[in-house]
Chain A
Amino acid sequence: DAGVIQSPRHEVTEMGQEVTLRCKPISGHNSLFWYRQTMMRGLELLIYFNNNVPIDDSGMPEDRFSAKMPNASFSTLKIQPSEPRDSAVYFCASSAGESYNEQFFGPGTRLTVL
């Protein structure tokens, strides 16, 4: 298995532009998580999907952020409009079945908003 796949790996954009981050979870995993990591705030959960349904989006910073999971093999995180404070590394993670199962993280997308 290729593991969790994220694209792009790096994204540099200007303030005000729309940014879309993509994630392909491991086949058969029914839970998907989006995280953001910064030096200041560490690892923050943004949103959690179970069986393609958003279960907890309380970590989404504001309305500029949105996430979708149209099917079991694809999810997107969109920021519109982007701001410099959104600069961070964004991780997607997936896990299977029971809550005692570990998460598998993707390599992350490093976002820089100028």
Chain B
Amino acid sequence: AQSVAQPEDQVNVAEGNPLTVKCTYSVSGNPYLFWYVQYPNRGLQFLLKYITGDNLVKGSYGFEAEFNKSQTSFHLKKPSALVSDSALHFCAVRDRGGSYIPTFGRGTSLIVHP
């Protein structure tokens, strides 16, 4: 079985400050991990993914995420937040040896204040 937890419903940060959106996962084997962003009235858009190799993954819009196997985490980060980053962010996991169906977290609403 696979699962994802996003412990924060909402994250508030001031523009220009660093941001972190948390994600922890559980899989039987090794994971493929994904972050998606959803802007109002839009579908989810892919941001970045971890497959293998370097634990620090860089993606779209200046976002990055760090895979930590010992803590089973894949937190999304950005060094300097923009107001335009305000959106709903989803973490997702697939077990490499398991189903093609990903499991999504409930989403974290990121609000960046001017």
Contact of A102 with B46 at beta-carbon distance under 8 Å, contacts A42-B106, A43-B90, A43-B107 already known: yes
Residues on B with C-beta less than 8 A from A91 are: 43-44
Shortest Cβ distance from A6 into B: residue: B43
Contact A103 B46 (CB under 8 A): yes
Contact A106 B43 (CB under 8 A): yes
Instruction: Tell whether B45 is near chain A: CB-to-CB under 8 Å.
Output: yes
Contact B101 A56 (CB under 8 A): yes
Enumerate A40-79 residues with CB–CB distance to B below 8 Å. 42-43, 45, 48, 50, 55-56
| A interface residues, tally (CB under 8 Å) | 21
Instruction: Tell whether B100 is near chain A: CB-to-CB under 8 Å.
Output: yes
Q: Mark A72-114, 1 if CB is under 8 A from B, else 0.
A: 0000000000000000000101000001101111111000000
Contact A99 B100 (CB under 8 A): yes
Contact of A102 among B34, B42, B96, B99 (CB under 8 A): B34
Residues on B with C-beta less than 8 A from A48 are: 100-101
Bin the interface of chain B by size: 20 to 34
Shortest Cβ distance from B44 into A: residue: A105
Contact of A108 with B106 at beta-carbon distance under 8 Å, contacts A50-B100, A100-B94 already known: no
Shortest Cβ distance from B101 into A: residue: A48
| Minimum distance in angstroms from A47 CB to a CB of chain B | 10
Residues on B with C-beta less than 8 A from A102 are: 34, 36, 46, 49
| Minimum distance in angstroms from A108 CB to a CB of chain B | 5
| Minimum distance in angstroms from A45 CB to a CB of chain B | 6
Contact A99 B107 (CB under 8 A): no
Contact B104 A43 (CB under 8 A): yes
**Using a CB–CB distance below 8 Å, which chain B residues touch chain A?**
32, 34, 36, 42-46, 49, 51, 90, 94, 96, 99-102, 104, 106-107
